[in-house]
Structure formats: C-alpha cells, structure tokens
Amino acid sequence: MTPERWQEVRKVLDSVLELPLEQRTGYLDRSCSEDPTLRREVESLISSYDKAGSFLESPVQKSTGGEASSGARDDSWVGRCVGAWKVMDKLGEGGMGVVYKAEDTKLSRHVALKFLREDLAKDRQALDRFRREARAASALNHPNICTIHEVDECEGRPFIAMELIEGQTLRTISAGPLPWSKTAELGVQIVKALAAAHAAGIVHRDIKPENLMVRSDGYVKVLDFGLARLVHRLGDSTSGGLGSSAKPNTDSGTLLGTVGYMSPEQVRGEELRSASDIFSLGVVLYEMATGQHPFRSESPVATLHAILSRPPLAPSRINLEVPPQAESLILRMLEKDARLRPSAAAVEQALGSVLGGVTRTIAPPSKRHTVGREKERAELLAAFEEVAGGRGLLVCVSGEPGIGKTTLVEDFLGDLQTGGWSFSVAKGRCSERLAGAEAYLPFLEALESLPRSGVDPAL
C-alpha cells in the first residue's frame, strides 16, 4: 500500500469510525461507490477494530458480572458431564467462546473446556477458526505451548479439552517496565514456543500479552492458535523467511490479528511468514522492557500508520536499564522489512546471551585504591559533603579519553557506599552520535531516570 493510498483509506476509515453502526453502510455506499477495492480495504480495517476477540483470551480467570454474556445455556453446562469431563465452574468468556474448568473423571485431573459460543456454532468462519486452532495446537508438542487433550462436540457445540493453566496473562503482570532479566527470562520461553511452531510450518499470527500465560512458577504458555496458519517450508524451517505460503485461509487483503501487535505486512493484508510473529514478539518485549508501546498513537488508525512508517524510539531512551545488546535485538525484531528480522532461533540465542551477560554498572561496595587519584577523590568527597550540607553544586569530571574518568567516578561512588552515605545515581548514556546538537540528551535522560527511581528531581 502506497503512502497516498494509505491516506485515502485513513480518511474514509476515520469518518466511518465516528458514525453509529447503522449509518456506516450508507456512508461507504456513497464514498466508495466508484472504488470497490477501497471499500474492501476499509471494511477489513473496521473488522479488525471490531473483531470479536480471542477464543482463549481469558482461559483461567473467573468470570465477572461485567463480562459479556453469551446466553443462559452456557452457564447450564456447570455440573454436567461432557463425555469423560465433568464441568465444575465457568472461568471466563470471550468473543468466540466460553471457558470452563472441568475434571477428567477417568484420569482425575483438571482441564479447561473451551466451547464455541452457541450463536457461532453455525457460522462457517467461526467454525473454521475453531478447527484451525485445534489442528494447529494439537500438531505442536512443546512445554511452552498449551497442550490439547481432545477435540469433540456435545449437543451441536464443538469444544476443545486442553491443559488448564493456573496463572495470569502477561498483560496482568507487566503493567510497567519489568527488570531486563525478567523480560529476557520470559522472552526466551515465548520464542522457544514460536521456534517450535515455525519449525512445524505454523505461524501464530496473534502474539500479544493476552495470549501469553505465566504460571505461578514463572513458566510461560503460548495460547490461542485460532488465527494460526500452515505454510509450506522451503529450506531452513526456522529461518525468518519461510518458503512460499500455502493457500491463504482468508481472502487477500483481509486483516487478521490484533491492532497494535500486527506486523507491517499483516497491516497490508499480505500473506504472512514466521517473521510476522517475530515482529509481534518484538512489540511485546518492547512493552515489557519499557512499559510503553513502541507505536503508541491516539487512535487505532494512527497506530497502524505508525507500524507501517514510524521507527520506534530506542528502548534505552525510556528505560536506561535496557542493555545495549537487548536494545539492538528488539529494534532488529521491529524492522519494517521482514527480511531484516532475526529468526526465532536467533532471537532465542540472543536473549540467552544477553540474559547471561547482564552486569552491574556500578562496582559493588568495596574499598578500591586507584594509584595517583587520591587528590581528585578527596575533592569529590568534599564536594559531596557540601551538597549533603544543603548547598547545590555541579562538579564536572573532564579530560582526554582513556585517562580513567569512569574508574575515578566508580571509585568515588564505592567510597560513598562503604562510608554509609545515602545517595541516588541518575544515568544518561553518551554516544558519538550526540556530539552535535543533541549533546544535551544524556543530561535529559539522567533527569528522566530520577522519577523512575522514586527520587523527586526537584531535590
């Protein structure tokens, strides 16, 4: 889609979304009467915004009064036997289905039963998605992918019996930035599941925090293969570009996925390969590392435009604790060109390497003796004591590269730690690229880091 075409689509879409549902068809009839392709593109975007939601979006959370109801009959399953399963409790529901906790009367284990909603049981598209999920998930045997036990039907209602995962969605536990070690620990598990799926020729197409469950022991499970599709593999099955795709499950140009986690090629309605999942996971890792969405915008339309055209802000500009190697990896995963993204196997290796290489920026408290710097260290300590006494003071440590400025500062901070002083450190990263007009950015980054550390910058 060209930028000019996108602006045309966006103009119509913005107008449609402002209208009540009953007025949208008439508006499209008038505005797209001479361009049926434009209408299909707009309707595809509208469908994406209004899509029903994930069949497995709330697999183990108790339903509440605020949830949408899918009919009294769904609650009536509780207490009944469905084959070898005795339904115990309703756990939740989404746009496509209702989820129950059940007991396997033969093996005495608890499982999750996921029923297709009654009003969708005769909908061909919903049935296709349901069967696609069952086929895709059952074809995968991996500890980080939810296990399928059985696919069956009861009283005309298809259901999947699958592993019951007691835990929380990643969305619930990552409301703000996570420590990088935790981000890498969870990310490694997610990408291992994707590597297994891609090796089997399966693209998930809907990687997002709601489809990632974290158990209480920290184990991650990837859910909802309802949008997954099989692709033909040519050459290396784990590469970022799998071979030519099988016949699409949907018409060309139709959007499937979740706005905000779509890859650029997904937004354009193109056929997808494994690199699309890598982009979506890159968005998830970015959120985990920074607490912000890389393409955060004022509307869904603007978000899609940002995914297509706007480069993400470097994660370290938001969270200084993100290691440089991790930042490089995430930005590579978010490349607009799918060919430039790493494979799942490469991401797994990189995350493991970064996780194993996390180091402290400041030396641990220990008495160090740097020869020939006693005078400078004494001057720094005297300046600190003046500040501790209430006087504002700025001290700059300057000099030629390689003479030990960083070591001097680390030694000074070590002196403060061993001396029992209480202090906070604000960090801004320097780079040769900042030698021009942006040389002030490290100072801004340092000031921005203070509120995140709980320090009032006014102090």
Q: Which of 85, 198, 89 is nearest to 145 (CA)?
A: 198
75 assigned to active site: no
Amino acid at 133: E
Q: Which of 121, 143, 139 is nearest to 130 (CA)?
A: 121
| Strand residues in 216-329 grouped as ranges (E) | 220-222, 229-230
Q: Which of 89, 152, 206, 337 is catalytic?
A: 206
**Are the C-beta atoms of 158 and 147 separated by less than 8 Å?**
no
Here the tokens at position 360 are: 């402290």
Here the tokens at position 143 are: 């500890």
Q: Which residues have C-beta within 8 Å of that of residue 285, sequence separation ≥ 6?
A: 183, 187, 330, 333
Q: Is 191 exposed, middle or buried (0-12, 13-18, 19+ CB in 10 A)?
A: buried
Here the tokens at position 220 are: 């991650």
Here the contacts of 40-44 (C-beta below 8 Å, separation 24 or greater) are 40/253, 41/1, 41/9, 41/253, 41/269, 42/9, 42/12, 42/13, 42/16, 44/253, 44/254, 44/255, 44/269
Here the contacts of 33-40 (C-beta below 8 Å, separation 24 or greater) are 38/8, 38/9, 38/12, 40/253
Q: Which of 214, 202, 212 is nearest to 249 (CA)?
A: 202
**Are the C-beta atoms of 146 and 94 separated by less than 8 Å?**
no
Q: Within 13 Å of residue 195, how many CA atoms lie on the same side as its CB? A: 16
Angle at 444 between CA 438 and CA 448, to 5 degrees: 150
Catalytic center residues? 206
